[in-house]
Amino acid sequence: MLADGDVATRLPAQDLDRARRFYADKLGLEPVEERPGGLLYRGRNGEFALFQSAGAPSGDHTQMGWEVDDIEATVGELRERGVAFEEYDLPGLKTVAAIAEVEGNYPSKGGIGERAAWFRDSEGNMLGIGQPVAPGG
């Protein structure tokens, strides 16, 4: 039943105007649809919505992510726009210039791992960027 449905992410925003500015100014994204209390965004493959909420996200785990072709270029451009990236130095996860090498991530996509980076939006939602690592690449 759900396997045939479209998947979409919903992210809470305590201040929807502030979130809209962050997504426009920092990420270069504009909503394709707007309704009272919500903004809908579409990417190349998928969509997400920001919704007005009194609740706050934990920010402790990745709530949404983008898969990109060139993570260095993406991180560089977002840094130029003022996005602050998370830095980690944990057993099994260490970032260098905000990018971590994650071995064995999603081999079903034909890769042997992923290069990844994380940042928080204006509302505290943890967002990720990933670039698959192909065998021999």
Per-residue pLDDT of 7-43, as tens digits, reads 899 999 999 999 999 999 999 999 999 999 999 999 9
- Is the pTM higher than 0.85? The answer reads yes
Long-range contacts of 84-93 (CB under 8 A, 24+ apart): 84/119, 84/120, 85/117, 85/118, 85/119, 86/117, 86/118, 86/119, 86/120, 86/126
Q: What is the pLDDT of residue 108?
A: 61
Strands (E), 8-68: 8-13, 33-35, 38-43, 46-52, 64-67
* DSSP-derived 3-state class of residue 63: coil
